[in-house]
Amino acid sequence: MPAARSKSASPKARNRGAREKLLAAAGELFYKHGVNAVGIDRVIAKAGVAKMSLYHHFDSKDDLVAAWLQEKHAAWMSWLVERVERVPVNNRPRELFAAMDEWFHTPDFKGCAFINAAAEAKDPRSKTFQICTGHTSDLHNAIKGWIAASHPALGADSLALAAQDITMIVAGAITWAWMHGPDGVAERARHSALLVLHEAR
């Protein structure tokens, strides 16, 4: 969750970093209000950046949206992976839901940016939509890795199915936590997921 603010993404670090400011502002606004509800002018105002700087770094609004989602995807996944994989392999499935619980209680939590963005995408073939489905696919793969490590006896098929089940449970929990509040949601999801996992063979 905490934003990784380490090094400039620009190859040469001599500019004043309009790109980073744009991505940060766009991220906040798009996540909070939705992609279609936020105009270019509002983004550049929040970023404190000229409009031409935006179109210098990005081809279009869609391109900015895609870049934001790409970045967010990388940040979110690496946060989760780091968070989950610092506990022993056997505890990782439960740790996933501890991480979810923490995330759900973040002050600015507004559900899954990728599910939300996918809901606004005009075309399933758009880059935006592809990134969104890629996000859930990557999450599915990460979960598969974790339960493979904690349940080495599972065959490849059961593994993929159990991982899908758990990914769907996580997706439902995120949606529920956003719409009805975060309390206890991750705990319920963990309960369901561990049942699935326990029963897998």
Partner DNA sequence: CAACCACCAGACTGATCGGTCTATTCCCTC
Partner DNA sequence: GAGGGAATAGACCGATCAGTCTGGTGGTTG
What is the C-alpha to C-alpha distance for residues 128 and 31, in angstroms, rounded to an integer?
A: 14
Q: Which residues have CB under 8 Å from 51's CB, separation 6+?
A: 40, 41, 44
42 binds DNA (CB under 7 A): yes
Q: Where are the beta strands (DSSP E) in 46-194?
A: none
The stretch among 15-23, 66-74, 95-103, 159-167 that binds a copy of itself (CB under 8 A) is 159-167
> What region does 181 belong to: left with phi over 0, alpha with psi -120 to 50, or beta?
left
122 binds DNA (CB under 7 A): no
33 binds a copy of itself (CB under 8 A): yes
Candidates 1, 32, 48, 74: give the one binding DNA (CB under 7 A).
48
Candidates 40, 77, 115, 149: give the one binding a copy of itself (CB under 8 A).
115
168-187 residues near DNA, rule: CB under 7 A: none
59-78 residues near DNA, rule: CB under 7 A: 60-62
Which of the choices DNA, a copy of itself, none does residue 138 contact, using the CB cut-off of 5 to 8 A by kind?
none
CB of 109 to a copy of itself, least distance (A): 12
Q: Which residues have CB under 8 Å from 74's CB, separation 6+?
A: none
Nearer to a copy of itself, 75 or 168 (CB): 168
What is the C-alpha to C-alpha distance for residues 29 and 138, in angstroms, rounded to an integer?
A: 25
The stretch among 12-20, 71-79, 146-154, 172-180 that binds a copy of itself (CB under 8 A) is 172-180
Q: Dihedrals φ, ψ of 45, to 5°?
A: -65, -45
Which of the choices DNA, a copy of itself, none does residue 87 contact, using the CB cut-off of 5 to 8 A by kind?
none
66 binds a copy of itself (CB under 8 A): no
SS3 call for 87: coil
Burial of 111 (0-12, 13-18, 19+ CB in 10 A): middle
Q: What is the largest CA-CA distance in the chain?
A: 57
What is the C-alpha to C-alpha distance for residues 59 and 184, in angstroms, rounded to an integer?
A: 43
Residues that bind a copy of itself (CB under 8 A): 33-34, 36-37, 111, 115-116, 118-120, 122, 132-133, 136-137, 161, 164-165, 167-173, 175-176, 178-180, 185, 188-189, 191-192, 195-196, 199
